Structure 1
Amino acid sequence: MISVIICSANPLDLQLVKENIGETIGAAHEIIAFDNGNAEKGICELYNEGTKQARYDILVFMHEDIEMKTEDWGAKVLEIFAADPNLGLMGVAGGGYKSVVPSSWYNADLEINGGFYCNLIQGFKYSGRESFLDYRNAKNEKLTKVASIDGCWMATRKSIALANPFDQNLLKHFHAYDIDFSLAAGRQYDVAVTYEVLLSHFSEGNFSHDWEGEILKVHKKWGAILPVNADGLDEKTLLRYERRAFKMYFKKQLDKGKTYNELMNICWNARKSRIFKGWKWYKLFVDLWRVVNE
């Protein structure tokens, strides 16, 4: 049995996704939907309310601009969780390496081969591009362990969501909650991407100024455990990649009008990371100081 939790901004989208869930889930379920069209509450607060209200042990948090494609997907979700007691969080897209450099759940600037795992039909509400099946399964697995997942669709256990509530005091809007929850759950449980559930997501990410601010909060909070390296990549090599990606990030932020103090605070937070201990952080500091003062 599954509790599906949705933070809604559009009554029509909500009605359509409710009908779609009912037709495809293939398992006993309830839908807990919150009308948040006025954006009065942040998604973390509403997801926490939904967790408390939920009657069932498996929770699915999902956006409303989604169409589930897999028949009996709910039965498959229950089967996957029953087979793996250490599975704590599951999505349909995720990154095997969560960088120290501020980023989404995957950092393309690191130029790591692989590390991006995905199974969904991606739509483009904002850019108008044609939708396509984004299937990336480099390890040819049914379930791939990752560092963090995309929040468009997330499945977890109610006990985990209660023990690791969404950080509504830190994140008051609609961004970065997925990375934060992934890092919280991942301290004790596996986080993974499944290839046995397919959905269509009608919109791409919106990387706004608010998004950047929330991402920085998450990176400051979890600085001591970053990077999370679920792919087991060589960390000496990653140190070089992270330094290069930091320089690229700083150059982009300077172009956006970030100040010296704002950027050097981001550098200061990186000192907590195990790959930037001692002289390695000092070397990073010098690199980034040069970028800011060019």
Structure 2
Amino acid sequence: MKIALLCRNAGLYSHKRIIEAAEKRGHDIDVIDHLRCYIDIAPHNPEIHYNGATLTGYDAVIPRIGASVTFFGTAVLRQFEVMGVYPLNESVAIARSRDKLRSMQLLSRQDVGLPVTVFAHRTSNAEELLEIAGGAPVVIKLLEGTQGIGVVLGETPKAAESIIQAFGGVNTNILVQQFVKEANGEDIRCLVVGDKVVAAMMRKGKEGDFRSNLHRGGSAESIKITPKERATALQAAKAMGLNVCGVDMLRSNAGPVVMEVNSSPGLEGVEKATGIDVAGKIIEFVEKNAKPGKTGTKSGITRKRKSAS
């Protein structure tokens, strides 16, 4: 099978592991920087050009698209889809998961457990936002933030109102969210592949930080999740339409509540915490669901022939 890995940095742990797992199982895998692709939107002959070559013959594409380049990255992925290449995660599913508001609306519609959340652009009446969210403490998030950036805890009503008004001063959209105190700065990351939770870890923020992101200095350990937590993770992945994702949730007094569904979850933390070969399970899923040969030629990257003078 010939696989395209869409990513900007082949040296990252997650990408090296995916390449290693694919090659170990006898597949050819090409690393393609999606920002260096050109999309040829031609009737009956859609193409993608990359480094002077035409990309052809792929059976599957594994998208690892950074949040800051979602628009162009999903456009390239969509072109692969138009060309008949099987996507590990579809472009539309990635786009909806990257929109925090839309993803929470979709999760809510499917009755997935969520913290009380208020979305706002006009922040002049901070007291009303706090009242709707259940009062301080609250977590205030920039809609476009990732990896814990743009996430602030308003511990008191006065502090929360000041933060809300400050965000309003830069003309941005925000989420004001119930603070789940009983979680004690810990969250659960479930790695979903297909219809299974293949690995789960408990993440804890560094001392004095309520955010549990590993990028922010948090720690992780393997955990046995409850049947309810497993069902919630699978329900969240299904609501987003994602085959592979990381579902982040908190243990609240009312049961598990989902904080985020990540369409390009990092593998380093969960593989090291659990010892599970998540990359291998991703490749196994691709093998079972992609159809080798359906795109015709197996050449992969084909050089354009120069026309005769």
Q: Please indicate, yes or no, whether the TM-score normalized by the shorter chain is above 0.5.
A: no
TM class, shorter-length: under 0.3
Larger radius of gyration: 2
Higher strand share: 2
Structure with the bigger percentage of helix: 1
Q: TM-score, normalised by structure 2?
A: 0.26
State TM-score, norm by structure 1: 0.27
